[in-house]
Amino acid sequence: MSDTIDTLLSEHRTFPPSAEFRAQANANDVGIYERAFHNPTGFWEEWAEKLDWFEKWHTTVEFTAPNAKWFLGGKLNACYNCVDRHAIGDRANKAAIIFEGEPGDSRTITFAEMKDEVSRIANALKSLGVKKGDRVAIYLPMVPELPMTMLACARIGAPHTVVFGGFSADSLQERCNDATVKVIVTADGGWRRGGVVQLKKITDEAMDLGCHTVEKVLVLERTGEKPGPVTMVANRDIAWNDLVPQQSADCPCEPMDAEDLLYILYTSGSTGKPKGITHTTGGYMVGVSATSKLVFDHKEDDIHFCTADCGWVTGHSYITYGPLCNGTTVLVYEGAPDTPDKDRFWRIIEKHRATILYTAPTAIRTFMKWGDEYPIRCDLSSLRLLGSVGEPINPEAWMWYHTIIGAEKLPVVDTWWQTETGAIMITALPGITTTKPGSATHPFPGIRVKVLDEEGNGVDVAGPHAVNTPKGGFLVLDYPWPSMTRGIYNDPERYQKTYWSKFPNTYFAGDGIKLDEEGYLWLLGRVDDIMLVAGHNISTMEVESALVDHPAVAEAAVIGKTHDVKGQAIAAFVILRSNYSGSEELIKELKAHVAHKIGAIARPDDLFLCAELPKTRSGKIMRRLLRDVAEGRALGDTTTLADPSVVASLKDKYENSEG
Ligand code: ATP
Ligand code: MG
């Protein structure tokens, strides 16, 4: 960016927390920000005290950019904190996991049962030769055994790397080799849209490609007879049922150093080759337990439904480690949101009386496209809080979420964070913050954010204080927090170069952000995507939001395309809502709508109606590929795409429609 981002859209709707919500909220005193600001170490220590430690830490934090260490000298075990300490007393018979399979099967696992099962899995891994420090890859569908295997690894001190079940053999192989994995835990298959994703078969392909350090493959049976029995390789593959049930339900929790590796997780790859992000034990557990409690307002009887897969960081922090650490029940769903019908999420909420829903803007926009009738015909009255993560949420998607799912009364928390940050960094606190649709609002207590321009000048933001210096620029953090990544696995140089080199001693996340005059933060998307149009930096997010604001539009992706005169011209790819059909008039009207909402400078030159957009497997729009399409280039790396045929057919249609 040559300059700061021109901030175009303005949003004036505000939603204060209701008096009832505020009264019962875990955080309802705005003083929490002030206290955490003046003594962040003390703030995090208070949260650390709530964990169970085998040995207390002697030093809270040591930080020399880019390396941070937290709770030095402390010894603890993440599994002990998520399982064992709840498996006694009142919580022993409380549900830890409520599971809904795509075919409609469900299971409830109590904390006491989970302790036994996790211990058996841990002993099974040990019997396969896994020792403290060895890496285990987990390539499972979203069944309870997925978070339980993560916890079993944590129990014996073996860092896990979860590979999303939608990834190919190449991706699995690449991750196993990068993390020098000893054992892969997989399943015969998982259910997806009524079909079977054949995980074991893909694992076999990955092994054939060469996973040089993998010695054993443990195979869970999930789909059984469909599509047929899997092949088992002698001396390498072991059926779960032949090993795990036979194990003792007694397995001690390994005392881990606070700075011992808990897991490696590869980023979702929106911007290129995935990075092996590391998280250690103490600081990570402090970050995820504190944010779970305050952002999701977890109470003893909550049922937390996070729709992410454990293959992404959201499933690590806000299905497995955060909620379970606090003894909260989590609802786990295996399959697609439209199987057997487009109301599946709402049916699950109705059936299991979920109280908290945490999902992604891409899902919300899809629900908008499908139509309101699906949620409206279900009983969503158990819900009391809604959350969003993964991409900027457009104000209209926020309003739909609030109105249709939240019955106009539930708090909506938009949470900004990354695989690298481990835990939520920018968010509303639902009992305190007056929200604005589309704004992630304020840094979490104890977190300090900066908005910088290219020269490194900018403003500090901590908490909800009004400012008079609105600013658009780079989102950076220069103050350590407990759950920050400890780096890229085995690649400190890439870590330094990717995140810590743009500004000295400062973590740069890759995202653009603006601070408004009332001190609210608005995520503008990735800075690589920001468009330079006739000398103005325009965020893709704002133009997309203006498009989604039109009643005909379900989803939009905007990019800057090279232009002789303007530098870049705006090209928009638009998906219509299901009850609209495309026409020349509508295209004109949509362009005019953008010009009307945010100014003529942002009027798209090209507007292309399409049925689908290229997305990563975690559902994020891949704008760099749309730039390739619009500029008539060969497509860049498409390996992290959910469905490579989408962008290929888009390229075809785009090239044939242009004129
Ligand atoms: P890669 O780093 O490999 O390109 P990725 O950044 O998509 O992949 P994640 O760590 O899963 O991988 O996603 C973090 C990114 O998601 C953030 O940097 C940001 O761009 C986006 N994001 C997450 N939550 C929000 C949010 N609430 N508002 C805006 N953007 C968000
Ligand atoms: Mg990223």
Nearest ligand to the CA of 312 is 1
Say how many Å lie between the CA of residue 365 and the centre of ligand 1. Answer: 17
Q: Which residue, 236, 254, 272, sits at the end of a domain?
A: 254
* CATH number, residue 635: 3.30.300.30
Among 268, 497, 623, say which to mutate for ligand 1: greatest number of ligand atoms within 8 Å of CB.
268
63, part of any domain: no
220, part of any domain: yes
- Structural contact between residues 620 and 268, judged by C-beta atoms closer than 8 angstroms: yes
- pLDDT value at residue 11: 83
CA nearest ligand 1 atom 29, residue = 392
Task: Work out whether strand 106-110 and strand 261-266 pair parallel, antiparallel, or are unpaired.
Answer: unpaired
Q: Alpha-carbon dihedral of residues 587, 592, 597, 601, nearest 10 degrees?
A: 110
Distance CA 420, CA 417 (A): 8
Say how many Å lie between the CA of residue 20 and the centre of ligand 1. Answer: 33
Say how many Å lie between the CA of residue 498 and the centre of ligand 2. Answer: 10
Domain tally, the chain: 2
* Phi and psi, residue 223, nearest 5°: -95, -10
- Token reading at 358: 């945490």
pLDDT band at residue 639 using 50, 70 and 90 as cut-offs:
confident
In this structure, of 48-57, 141-150, 502-511, 524-533, the range with the lowest mean pLDDT score is 524-533
Largest Cα–Cα separation, the chain? 72
- pLDDT value at residue 2: 43
The minimum-distance atom of ligand 1 relative to the CA of 393 is: 28
The minimum-distance atom of ligand 1 relative to the CA of 419 is: 10
pLDDT band at residue 4 using 50, 70 and 90 as cut-offs:
low
Q: Is the pLDDT of residue 505 over 50?
A: yes
- pLDDT value at residue 339: 96
351, part of any domain: no
Nearest ligand to the CA of 360 is 1
- pLDDT value at residue 645: 86
Is residue 186 classed as helix, strand or coil in its secondary structure? Answer: strand
Say how many Å lie between the CA of residue 294 and the centre of ligand 1. Answer: 21
Give mean pLDDT, residues 330-344.
97
Q: Mean pLDDT score of the chain, rounded to an integer?
A: 94
The minimum-distance atom of ligand 1 relative to the CA of 620 is: 7
- Token reading at 353: 């009386």
Say how many Å lie between the CA of residue 245 and the centre of ligand 1. Answer: 39
pLDDT digits (tens, 9 = 90+) for 300-336: 999 999 999 999 999 999 999 999 999 999 999 999 9
Closest residue by Cα to residue 266 from 143, 187, 165, 171: 171
Q: Which residue, 225, 254, 283, sits at the end of a domain?
A: 254
CA nearest ligand 1 atom 18, residue = 418
Q: Is the pLDDT of residue 271 over 80?
A: no
Q: Which domain holds residue 137?
A: 113-254
Give mean pLDDT, residues 90-108.
97
- pLDDT value at residue 3: 53
Annotate 614-638 with DSSP letters as a single string. -BBTTS-B-HHHHHHHHTTPPP---
Say how many Å lie between the CA of residue 615 and the centre of ligand 1. Answer: 13
Give mean pLDDT, residues 145-160.
98
Say how many Å lie between the CA of residue 161 and the centre of ligand 1. Answer: 19
Model pTM above 0.85: yes
CB atoms within 10 A of CB 506: 19
Among 295, 511, 520, say which to mutate for ligand 1: greatest number of ligand atoms within 8 Å of CB.
511
CB atoms within 10 A of CB 551: 10
Distance CA 115, CA 439 (A): 40
13, part of any domain: no
Among 391, 427, 435, 616, say which to mutate for ligand 1: greatest number of ligand atoms within 8 Å of CB.
391
CB contact set of 331 (below 8 Å; sequence gap of 6+): 97, 98, 99, 100, 303, 304, 305, 306, 348, 352, 354
The minimum-distance atom of ligand 1 relative to the CA of 415 is: 27
209 CB-contact burial (10 Å; exposed 0-12 / middle 13-18 / buried 19+): middle
Q: Which residue, 206, 229, 254, sits at the end of a domain?
A: 254
CB contact set of 78 (below 8 Å; sequence gap of 6+): 151, 154, 256, 262, 281, 284, 285, 321, 325
Scanning the structure block, which residue is given the tokens 């557990």? 285
Distance CA 406, CA 413 (A): 12
Nearest ligand to the CA of 526 is 1
List of E strands, 479-592? 507-515, 521-526, 531-533, 536-538, 553-563, 567-576
322, part of any domain: no
Nearest ligand to the CA of 522 is 1
Say how many Å lie between the CA of residue 389 and the centre of ligand 1. Answer: 8
71, part of any domain: no
Distance CA 648, CA 654 (A): 10
Task: Tell me the sheet residues that pair with 615.
Answer: 621
Among 418, 435, 641, say which to mutate for ligand 1: greatest number of ligand atoms within 8 Å of CB.
418
498, part of any domain: no
What percentage of the chain carries pLDDT values higher than 90? 84
94, part of any domain: no
Distance CA 589, CA 595 (A): 10
Helix (H) or strand (E) holding 117: helix 111-127
Q: Is the pLDDT of residue 601 over 70?
A: yes
Nearest ligand to the CA of 616 is 1
Nearest ligand to the CA of 270 is 1
CA nearest ligand 1 atom 30, residue = 391
Task: Tell me the sheet residues that pair with 195.
Answer: 192
- Token reading at 514: 């603006």
Distance CA 365, CA 612 (A): 12
Give mean pLDDT, residues 603-621.
91
Nearest ligand to the CA of 640 is 1
Specify the length of the chain in residues: 659
Q: Is the pLDDT of residue 658 over 60?
A: no
The minimum-distance atom of ligand 1 relative to the CA of 271 is: 4
Q: What is the DSSP letter of 248?
A: -
Say how many Å lie between the CA of residue 392 and the centre of ligand 1. Answer: 9
Q: Which stretches of 296-394 are DSSP H helices?
A: 313-315, 322-325, 344-352, 361-370, 373-376
- Token reading at 634: 């060969």
The minimum-distance atom of ligand 1 relative to the CA of 426 is: 27
- Structural contact between residues 28 and 432, judged by C-beta atoms closer than 8 angstroms: yes
* CATH number, residue 191: 3.40.50.980
Among 271, 312, 416, 420, say which to mutate for ligand 1: greatest number of ligand atoms within 8 Å of CB.
416
CA nearest ligand 1 atom 3, residue = 269
In this structure, of 223-232, 338-347, 547-556, 584-593, the range with the lowest mean pLDDT score is 223-232
CA nearest ligand 1 atom 13, residue = 418
pLDDT digits (tens, 9 = 90+) for 411-449: 999 999 999 999 999 999 999 999 999 999 999 999 999
- Please name the amino acid found at residue 153: C
Say how many Å lie between the CA of residue 270 and the centre of ligand 2. Answer: 7
Say how many Å lie between the CA of residue 271 and the centre of ligand 2. Answer: 7
Q: What is the DSSP letter of 91?
A: G
Residues with CB under 6 A from ligand 1: 267-271, 274, 312-313, 389-392, 414-416, 418-419, 440, 509-511, 523, 526, 618, 620
Among 275, 393, 417, say which to mutate for ligand 1: greatest number of ligand atoms within 8 Å of CB.
417
CB contact set of 397 (below 8 Å; sequence gap of 6+): 361, 364, 365, 368, 548
The minimum-distance atom of ligand 1 relative to the CA of 269 is: 3
